[in-house]
Amino acid sequence: MKWLRTLVLFDQGDVIRSDDWKSLHESYVRSIQSIDNPRGSGRLCLRGKIRLPNNQWLRNGVGYLRARFLDHIQNIEGWRAEGAVNLARDREQPPIRLYPSLENYREPITSDFGGFDLVTRGDNGTQIAIEWETGNISSSHRSMNKLAIALGAGIIQVGVLIVPSRGLYTHLTDRIGNIGELSGYLSMWESLKASVPRGLLAISVVEHDELTDDQDFDFLKVGFDGRAAEGKTKK
């Protein structure tokens, strides 16, 4: 698999020059590049999407890519999973105003954010969270928002979202989030830097090495949830 680029949306406190960030970035790029298909080939070859007579599409599933990435970064690169990040419901909300009373109000937090794909720690104590996108564009927004909130709360100092290029996206099911659809929102996440005492927020873009139309070449396994089914119909 190819790593195309890493976009650093903000860097507060010069995290970008730290040894922990350098080590992490080198490790997860190697983990990206380790993802191959067929296994042992050294390259990620995918069957290109095909249209069926019923106007649905056959595309590749996404779970294989995430699983291979996490296996390599933990078992080969040696990054140890630290467990879930606790974005507690009892953290203080900013005051907002009610209308028409104009009173100050703090809305209680009644929902959980869920964990990140990997939370780990650098040799110098930098707390790091990585998300590998396997959901739709709404999932990408949730991941970026979770990372930004965790950075603002000082729970992590590095947050990374790994997403497909637009070229890879078209051959994956699940209407998966991708850099093309996120590109219009980058300025919004960049503007959140003022709320972060020290931290770096980044997006890394990945892509397949090659496509094939060989009919004997299998698609990557697809899930069977509702979103995967919807992904079969997209153009």
Decide if 196 is inside a domain: yes
Question: Please, which residues bridge with residue 172 across strands?
Answer: 60
CB neighbours (10 Å) of residue 84? 13
- Mean pLDDT over residues 155-163, rounded? 97
Decide if 92 is inside a domain: no
- pLDDT at residue 69 in the model: 97
Give the CATH number of the domain where residue 135 resides: 3.40.91.20
Decide if 90 is inside a domain: no
Given a cut of 60, is residue 184 above it in pLDDT? yes
Decide if 141 is inside a domain: yes
Give CA–CA dist 227/174, Å, rounded. 5
When the pLDDT of each residue in the chain is averaged and rounded to a whole number, the result is: 91
Decide if 96 is inside a domain: no
Residue range 72-89, pLDDT digits in tens: 999 999 998 887 777 765
- Mean pLDDT over residues 120-140, rounded? 94
Residue 182's pLDDT band, with cuts at 50, 70 and 90, is very high
Decide if 94 is inside a domain: no
The conformational region for residue 174 under phi > 0 = left, psi -120 to 50 = alpha, else beta, is left
Decide if 163 is inside a domain: yes
- pLDDT at residue 115 in the model: 84
- pLDDT at residue 173 in the model: 85
Cis peptide before 100 (omega within 30 of 0): yes
Give CA–CA dist 123/42, Å, rounded. 30
Which of 225, 140, 219, 218 is CA-nearest to residue 176?
140
- pLDDT at residue 111 in the model: 78
Decide if 218 is inside a domain: yes
- pLDDT at residue 234 in the model: 47
Give the residue numbers spanning the domain of 186.
2-84+102-231
Instruction: Count how many domains the chain has.
Output: 1
Residue range 13-67, pLDDT digits in tens: 999 999 999 999 999 999 999 999 999 999 999 999 999 999 899 999 999 999 9
